[in-house]
Amino acid sequence: MFRSGIGYDAHRFGEGRKLVLGGVEIPHGRGLEGHSDADVLTHAMADALLGAIGERDIGHHFPNNDPTIRGINSLEIVRKAANLVTAAGGKLINIDSCLIAEAPKIGPHIATMKANLARVLGLDERRVGIKATTNERMGFLGRGEGMAATAVASVEMPG
Ligand SMILES: [Zn+2]
């Protein structure tokens, strides 16, 4: 049987932060605020993985008050979520995602992000989708207050 999981995350921009997306540090002058490296794309993917196996969300598994999460590379969070899928008897088939932000330009970094995520997820790169769009200058994303990401994962389960 196939199961799907959906993930959504958003972080606001803050001063003195690095911008990390899909495990890639992107020069942008400001980064996203958060307890970890605030990698919004990777967080959405982790929630999609957890959702596919009926687990609770990333905040439950990786709580903000856990000192071991502070500044963590979020690729490790998605790796642990993928391990939970395996432990539940699931086989990850593919994961797709969409980043939503007015800036910076994501296109030049997508290949490296895909390689990073394929590696930690144990997937062929063709099974990792990363797309980017703007919010057409509407709302908090359109005003450049932060970034958001959505993700969906498909998992094959024995029953
Ligand atoms: Zn997050």
Name the residue range of residue 136's domain: 2-156
When pLDDT is cut at 50, 70 and 90, the band that residue 20 belongs to is very high
Residue % of the chain over a pLDDT of 70: 100
When pLDDT is cut at 50, 70 and 90, the band that residue 70 belongs to is confident
Ligand 1 centroid – CA 36 distance (Å): 8
Closest CA to 11 of 28, 31, 33: 33
Domains identified in the chain, total number: 1
Mean pLDDT of 101-105: 95
Q: What are the counts of helices (DSSP H) followed by strands (DSSP E) for the chain?
A: 5, 7
Ligand 1 centroid – CA 45 distance (Å): 10
Q: Which residues surround ligand 1, an ion (CB under 5 A)?
A: 9, 43
Ligand 1 centroid – CA 10 distance (Å): 6
| CA torsion through residues 137, 140, 144, 147, sign | negative
Ligand 1 centroid – CA 158 distance (Å): 30
When pLDDT is cut at 50, 70 and 90, the band that residue 134 belongs to is very high
Q: Are 155 and 96 within 8 A, CB to CB? A: no
- Predicted TM-score of the model (pTM): 0.97
The CATH code of the domain that includes 54 is: 3.30.1330.50
